[in-house]
């Protein structure tokens, strides 16, 4: 299978030198074609894409802004594609935020992303300290190895579809007033009983956030399928995560952020992540904002659960709506069609 490399031209000539060397190593022996400009992104449906983004000292890339604009204008541009990313910077900043922004734009244009799709090279490459020690190599060597491994997975991985898929639905909302839950109930009614659905509410002090146990302690409890702090995470959430084929996060926008309990879920998932990876589990979400900012919450989910915790990101993984008063979401113009489309995406991702 050939790869399509999308590498926007850098703002300053030569700022892509290190990235080009990494790409040369990652792609050696493979069939690959490189596209450098936004206007080149035609006829890519169903392809395997490797985004390669060179960032300068300011953390910007003008050509990538043009790429973002085209992705947002043409919501079917990357339909059926699957992608990974390599983002190379010259400082410790901006690589992750640039990656999350590009991922969301491409995802809303129909592109899926592997679990843990991002390889980032910060200026000093100290983010490869642990990997370098594990591989008995230097930081550049660990960077090259990570890029090569990503290219391998991008060529070979296919998201599995289990025979009897289970959906885990997580929320921290009230059934009486929540627009987010109201939308989910409508989506669920459209799934037609095709899934076993487990719904867990994380409210009213039932979930404590991660307290930052030492690595060895977290590993010890994670290998036994638990967490030092136990509770609903150990008793209900961990077993449901193991069983499920997909997780649906119901996320009202609180102050342009995930709610505290849903953030705690992501943090506490670390103990289980020590034991297993979630490449075979798909991430979906419904995000409702009172006024604006749903894209900020969607990027937090991408960074926390797709890039960090390794959940597969299907194309158009999130339903992003704006509604303030209780019941308003179900009265939005065109909402029935969007609910139909979101339910169809869940079915297409998880059912044969």
Whether 219 has a pLDDT exceeding 50, the answer reads: no
User: Are residues 84 and 187 both part of a single domain?
Assistant: no
Residue 99 in domain:
yes
pLDDT for res 275: 81
User: Are residues 182 and 146 both part of a single domain?
Assistant: no
pLDDT for res 220: 41
Q: Are 51 and 100 in contact (CB under 8 A)?
A: no
Query: From the CB of residue 96, how many other CB atoms can be counted at a distance below 10 Å?
Result: 18
User: Are residues 140 and 199 both part of a single domain?
Assistant: no
User: Are residues 193 and 140 both part of a single domain?
Assistant: no
Per DSSP, 254 falls in state S
Q: Are 51 and 83 in contact (CB under 8 A)?
A: yes
Averaged pLDDT, 192-216:
70
> Percent of the chain scored above 70 by pLDDT?
91
Q: In terms of residues, how long is the chain?
A: 352
pLDDT for res 233: 74
Q: Are 166 and 244 in contact (CB under 8 A)?
A: yes
Measure the CA–CA gap between 157 and 280, rounded to whole angstroms. 10
User: Are residues 170 and 317 both part of a single domain?
Assistant: yes
**If pLDDT is split at 50, 70 and 90, which confidence band does 214 have?**
very low
C-alpha distance from residue 101 to each of 97, 105, 259, 300 (Å): 6, 6, 20, 10
Window from 140-149, 266-275, 328-337, 342-351 with minimum mean pLDDT: 266-275
User: Are residues 95 and 212 both part of a single domain?
Assistant: no
User: Are residues 197 and 314 both part of a single domain?
Assistant: yes
User: Are residues 187 and 138 both part of a single domain?
Assistant: no
User: Are residues 295 and 173 both part of a single domain?
Assistant: yes
The number of distinct structural domains making up the chain is: 2
Measure the CA–CA gap between 71 and 6, rounded to whole angstroms. 13
**If pLDDT is split at 50, 70 and 90, which confidence band does 348 have?**
very high
């Amino acid at each position: 299978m050939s790869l399509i490399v999308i590498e926007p031209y850098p703002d300053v000539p030569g700022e892509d030198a290190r990235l080009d060397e990494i790409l040369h190593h990652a792609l050696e022996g493979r069939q690959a074609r490189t596209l450098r400009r936004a206007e080149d992104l035609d006829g890519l449906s169903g392809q395997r894409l490797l985004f390669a983004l060179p960032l300068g000292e300011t953390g910007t890339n003008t050509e990538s802004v043009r790429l973002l604009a085209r992705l947002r204008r043409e919501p079917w541009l990357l339909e059926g594609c699957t992608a990974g990313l390599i983002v190379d910077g010259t400082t410790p900043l901006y690589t992750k935020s640039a990656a999350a922004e590009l991922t969301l734009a491409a995802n809303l244009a129909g592109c899926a992303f592997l679990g843990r799709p991002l390889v980032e090279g910060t200026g000093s490459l100290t983010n490869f300290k642990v990997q370098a020690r594990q591989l008995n190599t230097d930081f550049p060597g660990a960077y090259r190895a990570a890029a090569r491994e990503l290219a391998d997975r991008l060529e070979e991985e296919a998201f599995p579809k289990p025979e009897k898929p289970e959906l885990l639905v997580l929320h921290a909302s009230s059934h009486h007033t929540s627009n987010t839950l109201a939308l989910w109930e409508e989506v669920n009614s459209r799934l037609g009983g095709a899934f076993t659905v487990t719904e867990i509410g994380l409210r009213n002090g039932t979930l404590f956030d991660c307290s930052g146990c030492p690595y060895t302690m977290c590993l010890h409890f994670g290998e036994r399928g638990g967490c030092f702090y136990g509770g609903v995470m150990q008793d209900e959430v961990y077993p449901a995560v193991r069983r499920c084929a997909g997780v649906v996060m119901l996320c009202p926008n609180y102050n342009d952020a995930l709610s505290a309990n849903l953030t705690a879920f992501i943090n506490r998932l670390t103990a289980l992540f020590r034991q297993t990876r979630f490449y075979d589990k798909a991430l979906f979400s419904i995000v409702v904002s009172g006024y604006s900012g749903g894209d900020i919450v969607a990027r937090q989910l991408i960074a926390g659960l797709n890039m960090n915790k390794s959940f597969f990101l299907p194309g158009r993984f999130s339903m992003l709506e704006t509604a303030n008063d209780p019941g308003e979401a179900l009265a939005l113009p065109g909402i029935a069609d969007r609910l139909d489309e979101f339910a169809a995406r869940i079915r297409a991702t998880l059912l044969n």
